[in-house]
Each structure stands twice: as structure tokens, then as C-alpha cells.
Amino acid sequence: QLQLVESGGGLVQPGGSLRLACVAPGFTLDRFGIGWFRQAPGTEREEVSCISSSGSNTYYADSVKGRFTISRDNANNTIYLQMNNLLPEDTANYYCAISVGLQPCNPNYFGGWGQGTQVTVSS
């Protein structure tokens, strides 16, 4: 069963930066759309950003536009989420997931969920 693996989370002060990475051991991601999602305690999983298989199409939630950048390195089978100017409300467990074809950036259209990586923004 495919399960993506996220890394790069941690504790950072407001205004700081982190770069998350998403890989899929034993599976090639270059033909699939990838999304980053997050979930804070007591809330539903929400979309953060998505990228098409070629990387030519991207989507960002309004809450992260101008601060987060999604990218993919298909040669290294890795998808990144660069997060700058982090805010306390960005605190959540961040997940990456895979979609087949051109799908809306919505958790219902994605699968291969991993354990996530925790991002905590606090002073």
C-alpha cells in the first residue's frame, strides 16, 4: 500500500521558515499530482497547496499565499513546501498526498496519506 513520508517539521518562532519534504519510498511520483494538507487538533484536514505532475500548475490556499511555495524535483522524486513568515495559526500536522489526474486541491481527491510532520509556530 502506497504511503507517502513527510519530513522537515519542527518548532519555529513566528516569522521563521521551514521546508517540508515529501517522498514515496519505492514509488515514482512524477506522473501524479501532489498536495500538502494540514490538520490542527479539533479541526478538519484542510488544503494548503497542490502541484500538478509537471509542476506547471499550482494552487495555494488564501491563508498561505505569498508565504508558502510548493515545488517538485522529479529527478529526485521529492516534493517540497517552503514555508516562510510562519504564523502561530500555521501550527498543525502537515501531510502530503497523491492524486491521479487533474483534481481539485481537496483532501477528498487524494490518497496515500502518511503520518505527517508536526509544525509548531510559537515564541
116 pLDDT more than 80: yes
Confidence of residue 1 (pLDDT cuts 50, 70, 90): confident
101 pLDDT more than 80: no
103 pLDDT more than 90: no
Other CB atoms closer than 10 Å to residue 51's CB: what's the count? 23
Q: What is the pLDDT of residue 68?
A: 98
- Report pLDDT digits (tens) over 49-84: 999 998 999 999 999 999 999 999 999 999 999 999
Percent of the chain residues past pLDDT 90, beyond the cut: 88
Confidence of residue 46 (pLDDT cuts 50, 70, 90): very high
SS (H, E, C) the chain: CCCCEEECCEEECCCCCEEEEEECCCCCCCCCEEEEEEECCCCCCEEEEEECCCCCCEEECCCCCCCEEEEEEHHHCEEEEEECCCCHHHCEEEEEEEECCCCCCCHHHCECCCCCEEEEECC
Residue written as cell 516534493?
Answer: 79
